[in-house]
Amino acid sequence: MVLIIPKDFLKWFFECLYYSILSDCVLWGKKSSIFVEPICSLKIDDGKIVDYKLIDEWLDPSFNRATIRKQIRDGIMRVDSTDLDQALDLLIENVFELTDNRFLYPGKRLSTFVSQVLPNDLTISSSVDGICHFHSTTDANFSEIDFKTMKKLAGVMKKNGKNNIIGLVIAKGNPKEYIKKSTASKSQFVDYMMNDLDNTGFNARIFYSKGKDANLDTSIEND
């Protein structure tokens, strides 16, 4: 089986990443950059991604991705250094990922989506065939936490009448380079990311609540 990834989806996904990068902040006395990885649901028809939506939008219909940078900045100013230290993962020097946490944006979005939203809303569940998230490294392999989350999600979907769930990882290394590009316009950033797909990793996998999971090939669909 092959998961077909349309370029329109990738453009949208990189736009979400653009809005999720705060490149000009000061942390512990040093100029730093912070970003939040986009996590989105996928609707898949006949092996092709046909629709997509940020998890944040399912959790809050009023969510506006253009405000993510402001939410990051406001959160940093609101919490003390101890809480901030627990919410940030250092990727490389002066570049941090703001992880799901209980202190500030983005909250515990994926665990909330998996544990509270999907089990109780069959309308949303019927619109979700997969989950896509971002790795800010060259490694597109699913992490141990990714595996546990996707297996739990597969169990929820099984109860809702779906036999499996597809996971997709998009990985892009050298974060300093694309964070630098994010200081330009959205179109310049997206063009840069789209023109560098050969250096972007894609990894898809089909997860079952029980039994052996399986890798999926991926194919980028041209416009």
Q: What does the pLDDT average to over 169-178? A: 93
Across all residues in the chain, what is the average pLDDT? 94
- Tally of CA atoms within 13 A in the half-sphere of 172 that contains its CB: 21
Does residue 32 contact residue 94 with C-beta atoms inside 8 Å? Answer: yes
pTM above 0.85, yes or no: yes
Work out whether strand 165-172 and strand 130-135 pair parallel, antiparallel, or are unpaired.
parallel
Q: How confident is the model at residue 211 (pLDDT cuts 50, 70, 90)?
A: confident
For the cut 80, the answer to whether the pLDDT of residue 160 exceeds it is yes
Please count the other Cβ atoms lying within 10 Å of the Cβ belonging to residue 70.
Answer: 12
- pLDDT tens digit sequence for 49-82: 999 999 999 999 999 999 999 999 999 988 888 8
Residue 222, pLDDT score: 79
Residue 28, pLDDT score: 86
Give dist(CA 197, CA 193) in Å, integer: 7
Q: Where are the domains of the chain?
A: 2-221
Got the DSSP string for the chain?
A: -EEEEEHHHHHHHHHHHHHTEEEEEEETTEEEEEE---EEEEEEETTEEEEEEEHHHHH-TT--GGGHHHHHHHHHHHS-HHHHHHHEEEEETTEEEE-S-SSSTT-SHHHHIIIIIGGG-HHHHTT-SEEEEEESSS--SPPHHHHHHHHHHHHHHHHTT-S-EEEEEEEE--HHHHHHHTTS-HHHHHHHHHTTGGGEEEEEEEE-SSS--EEEEEEEEP-
Residue 223, pLDDT score: 61
- pLDDT tens digit sequence for 12-43: 999 999 999 999 998 888 999 999 999 999 99
Residue 198, pLDDT score: 93
- pLDDT tens digit sequence for 178-189: 999 999 999 999
Residue 4, pLDDT score: 98
For the cut 90, the answer to whether the pLDDT of residue 115 exceeds it is yes
163, with CB counted inside 10 A (0-12, 13-18, 19+), is exposed
Q: How confident is the model at residue 83 (pLDDT cuts 50, 70, 90)?
A: confident
